[in-house]
Amino acid sequence: MGTVLRYIVDDIAKDLKQVFDDKIVQQSQIAYWVLMVANRLKSQHIAKRDSGAYMHTFSKIPILTHPSVSNPDEVNNRKYILLPESIYDYNNDGGIEYISYYVEDDRLSCLPPFTRQTFTRTTPSTAQRLYYTEDEKPSPSNPYFYRTGSHLYFLGIEFIDACYVEIGIYNTLDPVDKIDIDSELDFPDELLIILKRQVLDLGRFTLMLPQERVNDGSDDAARKGVPTNKLVSVNELSEDTPNNK
């Protein structure tokens, strides 16, 4: 499990000297920065590694139908589920690892139910072609799903009474208004140092804004410009650059 979010936030707050009563940066803002950077680093981490560490399974997700049309995304009488959490938007809906029918695992000697029939990903525009070959045609034994927003619509199960599915997803971290600061952050510990550095950079820039930019009702003739960091190209840092050798 990961480090507690409060430890990360308080560590950064202390480094930025924002632990006194009239602090400029509140705890919630540092947490927002942490989640913003952590989501990016975590999505890169998952994309690089074939690991189940950050995949989460949600069972017994009810299959629903909309009784009427409501834009956007809600089409009536089409079977769907709602994504239980927000997911990383990888190529080809890679944020969804699998979807299968949900059946209680009551007989341990049998093949686990979720491995028997998984849903294959498609898109609305390519779905038409599937119906022209028997091997690919959507059916209860060969079901498909496609994603529109937070809806996952199904093809092939229109005429059966499937009630639930199981889904494995790579979900994003909860937003700042939902996450518990005392919960463990679902984030790889080995990337904490990069996370901290990037958040400190964000905070440092904020704290470098001079007081003259703050509207406190007073005027100061000696205005200073906003300090900026020198941007260094990665090429300049490369060992191939003659000046860097």
The residue ranges that bind another protein (CB under 8 A) are 21-22, 25-29, 31-32, 176-182
CA atoms of 29 and 125, how far apart (whole Å): 42
Min CB(30)–another protein separation in Å: 9
Give the full edge-to-edge strand order of the sheet including 144-148: 64-65, 79-82, 151-155, 144-148, 120-121
Distances (CA, A) of 157 to 35, 78, 81, 213: 38, 10, 13, 60
CA atoms of 181 and 6, how far apart (whole Å): 5
Nearer to another protein, 178 or 230 (CB): 178
Nearer to another protein, 130 or 181 (CB): 181
Nearer to another protein, 217 or 225 (CB): 217
Question: Contact, 244 vs 237, CB < 8 A?
Answer: yes
Report angle CA 74, 78, 72 to the nearest 5 degrees.
Answer: 10
Min CB(85)–another protein separation in Å: 17
Min CB(3)–another protein separation in Å: 16
Min CB(116)–another protein separation in Å: 40
Where residue 60 falls (left for φ over 0; alpha for ψ -120 to 50; beta otherwise) is left
Residue 70 has which token pair?
């409501």
Nearer to another protein, 63 or 179 (CB): 179
Give the full edge-to-edge strand order of the sheet including 96-101: 56-62, 164-169, 96-101
Where residue 229 falls (left for φ over 0; alpha for ψ -120 to 50; beta otherwise) is beta
Nearer to another protein, 30 or 99 (CB): 30
Min CB(175)–another protein separation in Å: 10
Nearer to another protein, 37 or 46 (CB): 37
Closest CA to 205 of 68, 82, 33: 33
Min CB(186)–another protein separation in Å: 16
